[in-house]
Amino acid sequence: MGASLRLILGDQLTLSLPIIQQADKQNDVLLLAEVNEEATYVKHHKKKLVLLFSAMRHFAQTLKDEGYVVRYRYFDDEDNQGSLLNEVKKTLQDNASLRRVLVTEPGEYRLLKSMHQWPQQLGTSVEILDDPRFYASLEDFKEWAKARKSLRMEFFYREMRKKHQILMEQGEPAGGKWNYDASNRKAMPAHIYPPEPTKFEPDAITQEVIKLVKKYFDDHFGNIGSFHYAVTREQALQVLNEFIEQRLPDFGKYQDAMRHNMPWLFHSHISFYLNCGLLTPREVIQQAESAWHAGEAPLNSVEGFIRQILGWREYVRGFYWHSMPTLQNDNFFNAKRDLPELFWSGHTNMNCLRQCIQDTKNHAYAHHIQRLMVIGNFSLLCELSPRQVQNWFLLVYADAYEWVELPNVAGMILYADGGNLASKPYIASGSYINKMSDYCKNCGYSVTKKTGEDACPFNYLYWRFVDSHHDKLKHNPRMGLVFKSFEKMSQQKIDTVRSDSAAFLDKLSKNEEI
């Protein structure tokens, strides 16, 4: 067969991957490359670049310590080739003994398409290996999806629980229920203070990368200061362990809560590491389940947490590959408004939006409900262009890769796919945000006012959305109650909702202060 060149992508930093385990330590070359094409296909948040480049550099060192032959290409190497393809080409030119190329399947459609051209472009065989880090292979998902009219996460999740015997007791779900949401999703009382997130001082490698990102990517979104993320597997395991010990017991209860200047709350903060390979879903789920068996965390929290990973994470990945390439162009509501400037600046009098965008800018992180019920809800109600919203979500979060970002944006928040992923649009008025957060107390708008200049914009935008999309949504059984309430509204109130919304959206389109 001859020696092989084995390309390891920046989000494939997992020692147990077959591409690494099956490598011949004497002859094969493992290639990791920091390249402009991947760093700029969207202008990733500066902290995402620091995280990935530093994690790649540390991982390369681990591979060398394990005895592999590693070729590492730094972003500022004088002859850096700028793209993965060209780095592979150059490596083949420099090593005549390398006869074939191997790579683990990438997480994004654009890169997979491009790799399909590589054999021709390189004149060498290119083998694309499955990514076994997920519980469900793409074939498994296809099989599951083939058998049903509509795809719903909840049913997929139950199948996964049964198939992998997770939280199961004698063939039944642990505790007798599949889902403990009724005990979850509480507001967080003011006297509850979550533990500080696990933080690491940047070591010499990370400091080098911070300098590099400041030099070459200064025009990218986000603040680079106070970088404290894990960049090695050992550190990522510490984040996981501290989550299990300190936060998991309260995770379920406060999963949907939001608090002023506090993005971390009782969440795990492990998506960065799961998605780039420093942690695997199996070890995370095993640890959470063991904590329940040991009586260290209640079932509602453990089930709620496992559902996010075994359910949502696996489901969106299957859904992505099942729905591409059309998903990226879906636009069920024909939404066209340009992304407003405030998505970049965070300048707005709407405190909830300001907080969520500032958290995003500072940390390349916001938790799920901030993404879904504040930024997402706003994007849907204001009919922002799906392509522009997708681009924003792909570049602002350090855990963002298209396989996970796009279904959440096009499917979950924008309903741009017409309901293939979600059973109804996730829309809410200000009262939901008020119930789940303390944002409204510090807001320029009044959450109790429904109309008028100082009324919370979510209040009238919500009814405007219901009014405008009646025809497209009237057959959705989950929208029945909403339409019933709308029908009871007086014509005068509907007129005010329409005029307040029109004035607000006009200002938004002109990037005037809102």
| Residue ranges in contact with ligand DLZ by CB under 6 A | 9-11, 33-35, 38-39, 44, 49, 52, 84, 106-108, 111, 401
User: CB of 107: closest distance to ligand DLZ in angstroms?
Assistant: 3
Considering the complex, state which of residue 103 and residue 257 has its C-beta at the smaller distance from ligand DLZ. 103
Considering the complex, state which of residue 274 and residue 497 has its C-beta at the smaller distance from ligand FAD. 274
Task: Give me the helices (H) in 340-385, please.
Answer: 342-345, 351-363, 368-369, 377-381
Calpha distance 57→70 (Å, rounded) = 11
User: CB of 269: closest distance to ligand FAD in angstroms?
Assistant: 4
| Residue appearing with tokens 């599949």 | 178
161 binds ligand FAD (CB under 6 A): no
Residue 34 β-bridge partners: none
Q: CA 114 → CA 11, 109, 121, 321, 428, distances in Å?
A: 17, 8, 10, 15, 40
User: CB of 310: closest distance to ligand FAD in angstroms?
Assistant: 9
* Partner from ligand FAD, ligand SF4, ligand DLZ, none contacting 291, C-beta within 5 to 8 A by type: none
391 binds ligand FAD (CB under 6 A): no
Considering the complex, state which of residue 49 and residue 436 has its C-beta at the smaller distance from ligand SF4. 436
443 binds ligand SF4 (CB under 6 A): yes
Considering the complex, state which of residue 44 and residue 361 has its C-beta at the smaller distance from ligand DLZ. 44
**Site size with ligand FAD, rule: CB under 6 A:** 27
Two structure tokens written together for 259: 């608090």
- Among positions 403-432, residues that touch ligand SF4 (CB under 6 A) are 430
Cis link prior to 325 (omega < 30° from 0)?
Answer: yes
Closest CA to 390 of 400, 381, 378, 377: 400
* Partner from ligand FAD, ligand SF4, ligand DLZ, none contacting 434, C-beta within 5 to 8 A by type: ligand SF4
* Partner from ligand FAD, ligand SF4, ligand DLZ, none contacting 409, C-beta within 5 to 8 A by type: ligand FAD
Q: What is the DSSP letter of 337?
A: B
Q: What is the DSSP letter of 174?
A: G
User: CB of 174: closest distance to ligand DLZ in angstroms?
Assistant: 34
Give yes or no for a contact between 364 and 396, defined as CB atoms under 8 angstroms apart. yes
- Only one of the segments 2-10, 11-19, 96-104, 267-275 lies at the binding site for ligand FAD (rule: CB under 6 A); that segment is 267-275
Considering the complex, state which of residue 359 and residue 399 has its C-beta at the smaller distance from ligand FAD. 399
340 binds ligand SF4 (CB under 6 A): no
Among 136, 456, 461, 514, indicate the residue that binds ligand SF4 (CB under 6 A).
456
The three-class DSSP label of residue 296 is coil
Put the strands of the sheet holding 69-73 in their side by side order: 69-73, 29-33, 3-7, 98-104, 125-129
User: CB of 356: closest distance to ligand SF4 in angstroms?
Assistant: 10
Cis link prior to 457 (omega < 30° from 0)?
Answer: no
Considering the complex, state which of residue 108 and residue 500 has its C-beta at the smaller distance from ligand DLZ. 108
Which residues lie below 8 Å from residue 56, measured CB to CB, with a gap of 6+? 10, 13, 32, 34, 72
- Among positions 402-461, residues that touch ligand FAD (CB under 6 A) are 404-405, 408-409, 412-413
Calpha distance 226→210 (Å, rounded) = 10
The three-class DSSP label of residue 262 is strand
- Only one of the segments 63-71, 269-277, 437-445, 458-466 lies at the binding site for ligand FAD (rule: CB under 6 A); that segment is 269-277
Two structure tokens written together for 3: 């020696």
